[in-house]
Structure 1
Amino acid sequence: MSSTADATTLVTTTSGAVRGTTLPSGVARFLNIPYAAPPFGANRWKPPQPVVPWTGERLCDAWGPTSPQTQYGGTIGQVLKAMPTVDGDDILNLNVWVPASAAPAGGYPVVVWIHGGALERGASCIPIYDGAKFACDGVLCVSIHYRLGFEGFAVLPGVPLNLGLEDTVAALKWVHAEIGAFGGDSAKVTIMGESAGGVLVSALLSREDARSLVRGAIIMSAPLEAKRKDEVAKPTTQLAKALGTPATLDAWRDKKPLELLHARDKALAGKSILDGVPGFQLALDPASLPTSPSTVLRTIDTPILIGTTTEEHRLFLSPDELAAIPWWKQLLVRWVLGIPRAAAVAARRAFPGANAGDILGTLLLDVYMRKPLVQLATARPASTWVYEFAWPSPVRDLRAAHGVEIEFVFDNLAKGDDDRTLGGHTAPQSLADEMHAAWVAFVTSGNPGWDAFGKDRLTRVFDTHSQTVPLRRADIVDALP
Structure 2
Amino acid sequence: MTADRENPVIRTPHGAVRGRWDRQVAVFRGIPYAAPPFGPRRFRPPAPPDPWDGVREAAAFGPTAPKPPYSEAFAQYLSDPAFPGDDCLNLNVWTPDPAPGARLPVLVWLHGGALTRGSSAVPVYDGHTFARDGVVFVSVNYRLGVEGYGLFPDAPANPGLRDQLAALRWVHEAVEAFGGDPGRVTLGGQSAGAISTGALVAAPQARGLVRRAVLQSGPPETTDRDKVRRMVRRMANRLKVPATAEAFAAVDREQLLRAQADVSRLSSPVLGGPAFGIVVDGDLVPRDPLEALTDGAAPGVELLTGWTRDEYRLWLVPGGLVERVDRLGAVALAGAMARCRCGSEVPRGYRALHPDAGTSTLVGQLVTDHLLRVPLHRLADGRGDPSYVYEFAWPSRRPGMGACHALELGFVFDSGNEPDARKLAGEGAPQELADAMHGDWVRFVTDGSPGWERWNSRHPVRIYGDGAPRTAYGPRDRELALWATPAAGEPAPATAPELRSVIRRLRRSGALRRH
- TM-score under structure 1 normalisation? 0.94
Equivalent position of 2:33 in the other structure: 35
Letter aligned with residue 13 of structure 1: T
**Residue deviations 1:211-244 (CA, integer Å, cap 9, x gap):** 3111100000013221342232222112112223
Q: Is the 8 A contact 2:95 2:135 kept in 1?
A: yes
Equivalent position of 1:204 in the other structure: 200
Give how far 1:256 is off.
Answer: 1.8
Give how far 1:340 is off.
Answer: 4.0
Change (3 A) 1:309 1:381: same
Equivalent position of 2:91 in the other structure: 94
Equivalent position of 2:137 in the other structure: 141
SS at match of 1:427: coil
Letter aligned with residue 127 of structure 1: P
Q: Is the 8 A contact 1:312 1:401 kept in 2?
A: yes
Q: Structure 1: state its 5+ residue gaps.
A: none
Q: Is the 8 A contact 2:26 2:98 kept in 1?
A: no
Take 2:98 and 2:164, find their aligned partners in 1: how far apart are those partners?
A: 28
Take 1:112 and 1:271, find their aligned partners in 2: how far apart are those partners?
A: 29
Equivalent position of 2:51 in the other structure: 53
Letter aligned with residue 157 of structure 2: L
- 1:405-416 aligned at under 5 Å gives the runs 405-415=408-418
Change (3 A) 1:419 1:412: closer
Change (3 A) 1:61 1:74: closer
Letter aligned with residue 85 of structure 2: G
Q: Structure 2: state its 5+ residue gaps.
A: 489-515
Change (3 A) 1:429 1:346: farther
SS at match of 1:395: coil
Paired-residue identity, %: 40
- TM-score under structure 2 normalisation? 0.88
- Aligned pair partner of 2:80 in 83, 87, 103: 83
- 1:207-246 aligned at under 5 Å gives the runs 207-246=203-242
Take 2:438 and 2:353, find their aligned partners in 1: how far apart are those partners?
A: 29
2:254 is equivalent to residue 258 of structure 1? yes
Worse-superposed segment, 30-39 or 466-475: 466-475
Take 1:128 and 1:357, find their aligned partners in 2: how far apart are those partners?
A: 29
Worse-superposed segment, 268-277 or 216-225: 268-277
Give how far 1:268 is off.
Answer: 4.3
Q: Is the 8 A contact 2:43 2:159 kept in 1?
A: yes
Give how far 1:432 is off.
Answer: 0.5
Change (3 A) 1:270 1:48: closer
Letter aligned with residue 62 of structure 1: A
- 1:357-436 aligned at under 5 Å gives the runs 357-415=360-418, 417-418=419-420, 421-436=423-438
Change (3 A) 1:154 1:19: same
Equivalent position of 1:117 in the other structure: 113
Change (3 A) 1:464 1:230: same
Take 1:3 and 1:195, find their aligned partners in 2: how far apart are those partners?
A: 40
SS at match of 2:312: helix
Q: Is the 8 A contact 2:461 2:472 kept in 1?
A: yes
Alignment size in residue pairs: 476
Give how far 1:47 is off.
Answer: 0.7
Q: Is the 8 A contact 2:26 2:97 kept in 1?
A: yes
2:66 is equivalent to residue 64 of structure 1? no
Take 1:58 and 1:369, find their aligned partners in 2: how far apart are those partners?
A: 42
**Residue deviations 1:237-278 (CA, integer Å, cap 9, x gap):** 121122232211332221022211112223445775557452
SS at match of 2:425: coil
**Residue deviations 1:422-478 (CA, integer Å, cap 9, x gap):** 111211111100110010000000000000111111000111222101121211111
Change (3 A) 1:295 1:324: same
SS at match of 2:173: helix
When the two chains are superposed, the root-mean-square deviation of aligned CA atoms in Å is: 2.2
SS at match of 1:11: strand
Change (3 A) 1:449 1:419: closer
Give how far 1:157 is off.
Answer: 1.5
Q: Is the 8 A contact 2:198 2:289 kept in 1?
A: yes
Letter aligned with residue 395 of structure 1: R
Take 2:2 and 2:247, find their aligned partners in 1: how far apart are those partners?
A: 54
Equivalent position of 1:313 in the other structure: 312
Change (3 A) 1:167 1:268: closer
Equivalent position of 2:443 in the other structure: 441
Change (3 A) 1:177 1:102: closer
Change (3 A) 1:152 1:98: same
Equivalent position of 2:11 in the other structure: 12
2:293 is equivalent to residue 291 of structure 1? no
SS at match of 2:417: helix
Q: Is the 8 A contact 1:322 1:355 kept in 2?
A: no
Q: Is the 8 A contact 2:144 2:160 kept in 1?
A: yes
Change (3 A) 1:271 1:118: closer
Equivalent position of 2:323 in the other structure: 323
Q: Is the 8 A contact 2:107 2:185 kept in 1?
A: yes
Take 2:110 and 2:389, find their aligned partners in 1: how far apart are those partners?
A: 19
Worse-superposed segment, 45-54 or 206-215: 206-215
Worse-superposed segment, 252-261 or 427-436: 252-261
Take 1:20 and 1:251, find their aligned partners in 2: how far apart are those partners?
A: 40
Equivalent position of 1:191 in the other structure: 187
Change (3 A) 1:288 1:102: closer
